[in-house]
Amino acid sequence: MLILILALTFMMSSQPPQILHHGTRTEWTSLTGHFRLREQELQKLLNEERHNYRTLKELTTRLQDEFLQAQNEIRHLLSDKQTLQHQMKLQAADFQKSLLAKSKRLEELQHPLQQEMLKAQMQQEMDAPVREMRLQLEEEIEKYKAEYYKLRYECLRLQSQADQQREEHARALESQRLRYQAEVSLLDQETDKEALAARLQSSDQRSNDKKLEALMKERVQLKVRNQGLEAEVAELLAQRETKRQQADNVAKVLNKQLTDSQDLARSLGLESARQQLETKQKELQLSCEENSRLCKQLHGAGRQITTITCQMETLKSSHKQDVNSLQLEFMLSQQELEKEKEAYKGQTEGNEHVHVWSLSNGIKTNDHFLRMCASVLRTEVELLRAEITQLREVLMEKEEEMCRKVHWVHEEGLHKAAQVQKER
């Protein structure tokens, strides 16, 4: 169209004399005005075509960007899917390892040697408080014996001191008696009894009276002290006898209690061990059943994971094929658009808009399909995560339940031991 317009303008500018030769000047002016109007209209059409071309170019670039963005989203989703599959495989391997370890532990517990070891451990736990009580009683007996020996030593020491003091007092009394007898014999042998009596009455009466009074007082004090010491010795002897009897009674009671507690502990230990073995066997059976059920659930989850991975692989291949086909269609449509743009530049605006609109609709439908596929993949990934978390919670609950059962059995054994101690 542009070439045609330029040719017409050149022809009009190059042949004015011929037109003037064949027609009037007014006709020429009207014709030139008409051509100028047509030229302006053509210029407007050309500007509109340029504007439409620019808008179509922007639309195609925007659609290309959206298409690339959709491809990037698909790549990210595929990478997320691969990472989730890897994580699920690792978690499944961890669960299988934990189940194998628990199954081995259960088999070991079911073994008779392990049961005997558990019995021995429980017997040790039951005998430990009895042994501690026995040691405490032996320590108390040793303490009482030490106190008894100490009191016995004190009693002997006091008795020896009392005997020594008694001997000293006896010697002092004997010496004083002999001295007084000598003085009396000397006084008897004196011839002048009257002079002596006068002299004694005059000079030594007062001193002798005072000495006699002092000696009598000292004698009374010594007698009282001797009586007090004899009473203390008798009291100490009585205390020694009572302590000896108490120690003998305590030893007899302790020996009897020890024998009774040993018999009771043995009987209770056997009964409790039998009951605990029965409960352990029941718990082992329940745990085996629970482990088998969990293994079945894990195998089912593994099969579901494999089926989902197969579905995801098929969807991935189909998505790749769709993306490749869309790329080819987009390239072909772009080439056709270029060809049509070059070949049909002078056509009307409506035809080009219809073609580009159909192309954009096709790309938008493909983009919508890709987004739907991405949303489906996201939902599948979320479901897999929910199943994994549910299985993990179930395993944690089972482990907590086993720990609670073991703790309960241990507390029950301690409670029985405490009851046995209280009864003793």
Question: pLDDT tens-digit profile of 350-372?
Answer: 444 444 454 455 445 555 555 66
Cβ atoms of residues 254 and 141 within 8 Å: yes
What is the mean predicted confidence (pLDDT) over 391-410?
A: 68
Which helix (H) or strand (E) segment holds residue 171: the answer is: helix 112-189
pLDDT value at 347 more than 70: no
User: Which candidate, 384, 396, 390, places its Cα nearest to that of 83?
Assistant: 384
Give Cα separations from 166 to 89, 173, 219, 394 (angstroms): 102, 10, 12, 92
pLDDT at 104 exceeding the cut of 50: yes
Mean pLDDT over 215-234 rounds to: 74
Q: What share of the chain is helix, strand, coil (3-state, %, to 5)?
A: 95, 0, 5
296-306 mean pLDDT: 67
The CA-CA-CA angle for residues 137, 138, 144, to 5°, reads: 90
Q: Categorize the per-residue pLDDT at 10 as very low, low, confident or very high, splitting at 50, 70 and 90.
A: very low
Please check the confidence at residue 215 and state whether its pLDDT lies above 60.
Answer: yes
The predicted pLDDT at position 304 comes to 67
**pLDDT for residue 176:** 74
Q: What is the per-residue pLDDT for 2? A: 42
User: Tokens 């579901």 map to which residue?
Assistant: 304
The pair of three-digit structure tokens given for residue 65, joined into one six-digit string: 């960007």
pLDDT by residue (tens digit) across 200-212? 566 555 665 676 6
Going by pLDDT thresholds of 50, 70 and 90, the confidence category of residue 162 is confident
Give me the DSSP letters along 304-329: HHHHHHHHHHHHHHHHHHHHHHHHHH
CA dist., res. 384 & res. 386, Å (int): 5
Between CA 12 and CA 6 the distance in angstroms is: 10
Burial 274-304 (b: 16+ CB within 10 A, else e): eebeeebeebeeebeeebeebeeebeebeee
Give the mean model confidence (pLDDT) for residues 183-194: 61
Reported confidence tier of residue 323, pLDDT bands at 50, 70, 90? low
pLDDT for 45: 83
Report the chain's mean pLDDT, rounded to a whole number: 70
For residue 8, the model assigns a pLDDT of: 44
Q: 19-33, 92-106, 208-222, 369-383: which has the highest mean pLDDT?
A: 92-106
pLDDT exceeds 70 at position 140: yes
For residue 48, pLDDT over 50 is answered with yes
**What is the arithmetic mean of pLDDT over 148-169?**
80
pLDDT of 141 reads 80
pLDDT at 12: 44
Q: Is the pLDDT of residue 5 over 60?
A: no
Highest averaged pLDDT of the listed ranges 39-43, 246-250, 350-354: 39-43
Q: Find the mean pLDDT for residues 292-306.
A: 68
Q: Which amino acid is residue 241, in one-letter code?
A: E
Write out pLDDT tens, residues 56-70: 888 878 888 888 887
Lowest-confidence pick of 64-68, 128-132, 233-237, 362-366: 362-366
Please give the share of the chain, as a percent, with pLDDT higher than 90: 0
Global model pTM greater than 0.85: no
Type of residue at 160: S
- Whether 257 has a pLDDT exceeding 80, the answer reads no
Q: 92: which 2 tokens?
A: 């499944």
Four-CA torsion 253, 259, 260, 263, nearest 10 degrees: 180
Please report the pLDDT score of residue 149 as a whole number.
81
Give the residue from 64, 100, 145 showing the smallest Cα distance to 395: 100
Q: Which of 73, 80, 75, 70 is nearest to 326 (CA)?
A: 70
- Does residue 123 contact residue 269 with C-beta atoms inside 8 Å? yes
List the one residue out of 114, 92, 96 whose CA is nearest residue 105.
114
Q: Which two tokens stand for residue 40?
A: 């302006």
DSSP structure class, residue 348: -
Give the pLDDT score at 287.
67
Arithmetic mean of pLDDT, 119-142: 80
Give me the pLDDT at residue 262, please: 66
Residue 55 has pLDDT above 80, yes or no: yes
Q: In this model, does residue 31 exceed pLDDT 50? A: yes
Could you read off the pLDDT of 73-102 as tens digits, one per residue?
Answer: 888 888 887 888 788 888 878 887 887 887
Contact (Cβ atoms closer than 8 angstroms) between residue 71 and residue 322: no
Residue 282: pLDDT over 60: yes
Task: Give the mean model confidence (pLDDT) for residues 163-180.
Answer: 78
What residues contact 130, with CB distance under 8 A and at least 6 apart? 261, 262, 265, 417, 420, 421
